[in-house]
Amino acid sequence: MKTSNNTVLITGGGAGIGFQTAKLLSEKGNHVIITGRNAGTLEKAAAQLKNVTAIVSDVSKEEDVNALVKRLQAEFPALNIVINNAAAAEVYKLEAGVNAYAKASHEIHTNFLSVIRLNELLLPLLEKQAESAIVNVSSIVAISPGARLPGYAASKAALHSYTQVLRHTLSATNVKVFELMPPLVNTEFSKEIGGENGMPPAAVAAAFVEALATDNYEIHVGNTADFYKLFLSSPAEAFKVLNTRE
């Protein structure tokens, strides 16, 4: 997949991995469209980037998504890369009184169902391009769940399964399907689970762009690669390693 002269949509592009990916791709000569719920965050991000368009849009809201797709079709008909990066996560344990149903409902809707909706709506536009890509950002917990992130882990496991099926379904088309699986990353998003000990988001973005250029469809960033090998040899040991602080 070429990594320059693309038109790229990044949901949740105002901070963390999304912002660093937008920065790197914009520097490589791509036009990048970043979306997010917070106008202030997007404005601050856009001011630090070149060749970028910021659009306030919440992937979890149908009306926002419909408006976004309509604008993309009208103003950015060359759109050929969609990076589904926006996500929601809450830290809790599956104990009585934590309101797990409501928390998981929000996480699964945002991290999984919203991705399905946006991809399906943008697929006709992507199929018009000579070369295009869908990138779903999952997580190391898609391989084995973290006990303090039950809803988030379940949503990312579902996203992983969906991505595999989507890749198979679109294998005969011009639409390539990638999955980015980061480990713990040092962002505000992961602060509550020790994100300061995680991988820098700029390093995740760099690894992603390198994998995009070589058509490495399932991208195990940082220690995700070693963890995946451990999971294949012993799922129980992988779960234990991921939950050593529980």
Active site residues: 152
What are φ and ψ of residue 125, in 5° steps? -70, -45
Secondary structure tally for the chain: helices H, strands E: 9, 7
d(CA 38, CA 52): 16
- Residue 96 CA to residue 73 CA, distance in Å, equals 46
Q: Mention every residue, 6+ apart, whose C-beta is less than 8 A from residue 141.
A: 149, 152, 153, 156, 157, 242
Q: Given the DSSP bridges, would you call strands 132-137 and 175-181 parallel, antiparallel or unpaired?
A: parallel
